[in-house]
Amino acid sequence: MKIFRTRAEVYNYLETLKLKGISVGYVPTMGALHQGHLSLIDAARKKADIVVCSIFVNPTQFNDKKDLENYPRPIEADIEKLKEANCDVLFLPEVDEMYNSSDEWHIELDHLDNILEGEIRPGHYQGVTQIVKKLFDIIRPDYAFFGQKDFQQFVVISYMVNKLNIKVQLIRCPIIREVDGLAMSSRNVYLSAEDRQNALSLIKALTKAKEDFNTLSISDVRKNAMDYLSKARGIKVEYFELFNARTFEPASSKENENIIALVAARVGSIRIIDNMIL
């Protein structure tokens, strides 16, 4: 696996390959890699000639300084995992390589950046779109792979790609879960044993919502889930919403809509998000 730390080096390397007609599949990450990330590498390997992964803990998408400081950075272990997964190229820049002091960014994101995650994490999706645009400009991938785990992020990036007419095909990959159902996440390592157990209430609420959806109205499905989560041990629910997965508006009817349930909660000091297509 080739490792590049500068934009110029990775850009030049990939441009040479592209001239030979080689297609590029790209997986952007913030590292602390787990099976969820590696499933994206696998998907990229199946679709493209070469697989590029980046690891960059992007400061502009963190609205909580402590969260940024504490974000896990086990870089040596990550490199080993990527080698094992047959990743071809790792782009591993420092913050100075990606940003300079004159950087400014604001993109109109319709209503998408001030609801759900955007409401709770102001500026988060401006930071996400800022770094993804920069990374897309450097890697210029044919395909880019993202997890359904961050469903709203996928919606936001799709919106940006359409709006700026970026030539990339976005591919959404399924959520990878632990055996007991907890969605894998880099932040899970910070859950205490007790919180780790309490966190299962999120997947339980989603699974129950999927069942309820067969017989109950949208508002009753949501109400049951909120009731359940507000009583669950060690959980502070932030939202549980049913949205139209295509328009990303609150779901209004069960017919002709692809509906997704999205949940966020604090478990101890850790924020956890999850979702499920109903």
Which of residues 81, 121, 134, 149 is near ligand AMP by CB under 6 A? 149
- Cβ closer to ligand AMP: 37 or 222? 37
Q: Cα–Cα distance between 182 and 180 in angstroms, integer?
A: 6
Does the annotation count 124 as an active-site position? Answer: no
Burial of 190 (0-12, 13-18, 19+ CB in 10 A): middle
Tokens representing residue 178 in the block: 């632990």
Q: Work out whether 147 is an interface residue with ligand AMP (CB under 6 A).
A: yes
- Cβ closer to ligand AMP: 183 or 278? 183
Q: Work out whether 130 is an interface residue with ligand AMP (CB under 6 A).
A: no
Tokens representing residue 265 in the block: 């909660």
Min dist CB 36 to ligand AMP, Å, is: 2
Applying the rule CB under 6 A, the residues between 27 and 66 that interact with ligand AMP are 29-30, 36-37, 39-40
Q: Work out whether 184 is an interface residue with ligand AMP (CB under 6 A).
A: yes
227 Cβ contact list (under 8 Å, min separation 6): none
Could you count the other beta carbons within 10 Å of the beta carbon of residue 147?
Answer: 23
Q: Work out whether 183 is an interface residue with ligand AMP (CB under 6 A).
A: yes
Min dist CB 37 to ligand AMP, Å, is: 5
Helix (H, G, I), strand (E, B) or coil at 249: coil
Rounded to a whole number, what is the distance in angstroms from the first to the last CA of the chain? Answer: 39
Nearest to 91 by CA among 36, 47, 147, 131: 131
Q: Cα–Cα distance between 112 and 60 in angstroms, integer?
A: 18
Min dist CB 253 to ligand AMP, Å, is: 28
Could you count the other beta carbons within 10 Å of the beta carbon of residue 277?
Answer: 14
Applying the rule CB under 6 A, the residues between 158 and 177 that interact with ligand AMP are 173, 175-176
Min dist CB 267 to ligand AMP, Å, is: 16
- Please identify which of the residues 34, 37, 111, 124 carries the catalytic annotation: 37
The residues annotated with a catalytic role in the active site are 37
Residues that bind ligand AMP in the complex, under the rule CB under 6 A: 29-30, 36-37, 39-40, 146-147, 149-150, 173, 175-176, 183-186
